[in-house]
Structures are given as structure tokens and as C-alpha cells.
Amino acid sequence: MTTRPSSPTRDWILHVDLDQFIAAVEILRHPELRGKPVVVGGSGDPTQPRTVAATATYEAREHGIHSGMPLRTALKRCPDAIFLPSDPPAYEAASERVMAVLREFPVRVEVWGWDEAFIGATTDDPEALAAGLQDAVRARTDLSCSVGIGDNKHQAKLASGFAKPAGIYRLTSDNWAEIMNARPTDALWGIGAKTSKKLAALGLHTVADLAAADPAALAGAFGPTNGPWYRYLALGKGEAEVVTTPWIARGHSRETTFPHDLTDKTEITRHVTALAEHVAHDAATAGREVIRVSVKVRFTPFLTRTRQSKLPTPTADPDILARTAVAILDRFDLTRPVRLLGVAVDYTMPDK
């Protein structure tokens, strides 16, 4: 029995992160694959070009395979790996079972994608709550999760990363500086490779550097919102409100990377029409109307361009959306081979 210093009863944010979620769901469906190198992605055909791994089991990772790697490369690295097609409905179903388990606790649950949730709770023992959540999820779904504990979502999110796999970690304003100050700026949730490099060029290499930086100088370099926000992140601050009402999507999109380039205008137009009709169908199913249509074209080798236009009237009419998308397509210079086409829409938002 370990003893912890007791905490006062107060509000905490927990971040629950399912470990290796997609791979774990696939292993549950195919128990005979446990302990084997498994790669999930695309239609599961590793010879298909321009398809990448959604995830890889630890056994596959030992061969240097990781998510985002082309399946053809993964096959070369591990010819014995088992390749499975991605099955989003199965992951959605598993995710809903997990979220239902979390909601049985006396907490507030904010779903954050398939494999994550933020929990708002009032307790004097957040570690005990975290362990209870882990036990319940494991008992009811056979899935393992890591739990981060923080004063806000940013801290809790980073803490769950430190807790992996299957652990519990507390990162609050009390130990923030001790744990985070020496780390590179891209350890923060919201600062990636590009911004980290730009910060380094300003002499800001660590979280401590960024926390001590001049907000006005950051605003000059990164804009009035982003610049000060980065410093705010470095100080360990972040959103602390858990929203339990379902998220209302801002928009929706469908895109396709073709295994081989398209050059024929008629064929390109046919694909854009189909994508637009698909998006229109999705919008109608969701009971939403569209206010803006965007078309995305990725040319060979990897040059991406977008064009968009606002509709005069919101609609989910497939003919209007398809006609609009095809008209937008005409604004592209289509002399180069095309490897990807996409159609995206912005929805009208309900009045607040």
C-alpha cells in the first residue's frame, strides 16, 4: 500500500488516452494476432502505393515501422508483418463503449476524438479516480488507457503522455516548471516542428525560454493571438472548462489520393463531382447546410492548392454543391498530373 500526501477536495482535469487504440481494437477482434507485428492502414494491401499505416503494434515498431509510414516501406522492413484494413466503424463502436464507461462515474466527460476524453471531477484523490477509470475501462472493454491529471486540459494532456503505457501521472502548476522547463518548446500541446524551429531562431529553445519571452515580441513574430498564446502554454496554462455537450462540426470534407496520377480532365471532373455529392449526402444526413465549398488539388510531386467560394444561399442540395465544385475546379491550372482531389464544405452554424 503506497501512501500519498492527501490533496484538498477541489476540481481537477483528467485526460484519458487509450493506449494503441486502433491496434488494441484489432487485437481484440483477432486474438490470434496478439504478440505479432501488425500494421493497420488503408485497405490493408501493403503493395498499394500511396497508402500509409494508421498504426502499428509494438512488435511491428521493433522493425522500425510507425504510423504514417507508407505500407510498401513497412512491408520491406518486415515482410512477415500482418496488414489489416482500417475499419473506422469498428473503432467508433469501441470508442462509444469506452465513453459510456467513463460517463458512469460522477464526473463530466468531454469526448476528444476516438481515443481520448477529458474528465472534469471534484475529488480529494485524483489518482484514485484515475485508477478507478482505468480498472473500469479494462474490465468492461479489455482496453488499456493512460490517465493524466492536471489543473487544466493542457497539463492533463501532457501528463497522459508521460503516463504511457497504462500509467497515471500528475502534472499541475506545482510541478510544471520542474517537469517542463528544460524540455524543447515542441513538448507543448499546440507547438509543432515549424513553430519550434521559428522560436529557436529567436533564441527560444526551451519551455523556460518561451515562458520568459516578451509577449509583444512574440506577437510581432507570430501574430496577436498566437504569439502571446505560446507563452501562455509555456507557463503551463490552458483551458480548464470541460464541455459535455456534443461538438458541433464547423465543416466536413472528403478527399482521395489516387494510387496513380490523373491527367484526364473528364476523369478529374467526374471525381470532383462524386466527392461533392458524397459531402452533400453527409451534410444532409447530419441535418446541416453548407455556406462555402472548397476544392483541393494536390499535384505531382506534392504541390497542394485550394480554391473556394461562398454560396449565395446555404444548401445541402447535391446538384448545387456538385456544380459549384466543378466551377471551382475550372479555376485551377490542371496541366500537371493530379494525385489528390478533395471537396470540403463549411457549415452554417446555429445561432448562439
Partner DNA sequence: TCTGGGGTCCTAGGACCC
Q: Which three cell numbers stand for residue 234?
A: 509555456
- Distance CA(273)–CA(328), nearest Å, equals 11
Answer yes or no whether residue 157 interacts with DNA by CB under 7 A: yes
Q: Kindly state the number of chain residues that form the binding site for DNA, as judged by CB under 7 A.
A: 59
- Print the binding letters for residues 175-194 with DNA: x by CB under 7 A, - otherwise: -----------x-xxxxxxx
Q: 88-103 and 21-29 helices cross at what angle (nearest 10)? A: 100
One of 225, 266, 285, 313 touching DNA (CB under 7 A): 225
Per CB under 7 A, the segment of 2-10, 139-147, 168-176, 245-253 that binds DNA is 245-253
CA end-to-end span of the chain, whole Å? 51
- 350: contact with DNA by CB under 7 A: no
Question: In whole angstroms, how close is the CB of 292 to DNA at the nearest point?
Answer: 6
Whether residue 62 lies in the annotated active site: no
| All cell numbers assigned to 235 | 507557463
> Where in 112-151 is the site for DNA (CB under 7 A)?
112-116
Burial class (CB in 10 A: 0-12, 13-18, 19+), 186: middle
| 340 is a contact residue toward DNA (CB under 7 A) | yes
Considering 104, 116, 239, 241, which one is annotated as catalytic? 116
- Name the residue nearer to DNA (CB basis): 54 or 123: 54
Q: Which of 234, 10, 284 is nearest to 122 (CA)?
A: 10
CB of 46 to DNA, least distance (A): 11
C-alpha cell belonging to residue 173: 502548476
Nearer Cβ to DNA (195/269): 195
Q: Which is nearer to DNA, 10 or 197 (CB)?
A: 197
Residue from the set 7, 144, 257, 269 that interacts with DNA by CB under 7 A:
257
Distance (Å, rounded) from C-alpha 3 to C-alpha 351? 51
For helices 226-234 and 215-222, give the axis angle rounded to 10 degrees: 130
Which of 252, 297, 305 lies closest to 271 in space, CA to CA? 297
* φ, ψ at 264 (rounded to 5°): -85, 120
Binding mask 25-64 for DNA (x = CB under 7 A): -----------------x------xxxx-x----------
Site of grid cell 444532409: 284
Q: Would you say 137 and 145 are in contact if contact means Cβ atoms under 8 Å apart?
A: yes
Q: Tell me whether residue 157 or residue 231 sits nearer to DNA (CB atom).
A: 157
| Alpha carbons 33 and 23: distance in angstroms, whole number | 10
Residue 128 or 166 having the CB closest to DNA = 166
Query: Considering the complex, what minimum distance in angstroms separates the CB of residue 343 from DNA?
Result: 9
| Cα 268 from Cα 281, distance rounded (Å) | 20
- Active site (catalytic) residues: 116
List residues binding DNA (CB under 7 A). 42, 49-52, 54, 67-70, 72-73, 112-116, 157, 186, 188-196, 222-227, 247, 249-257, 292, 294, 301-302, 304-310, 331, 340, 342, 344
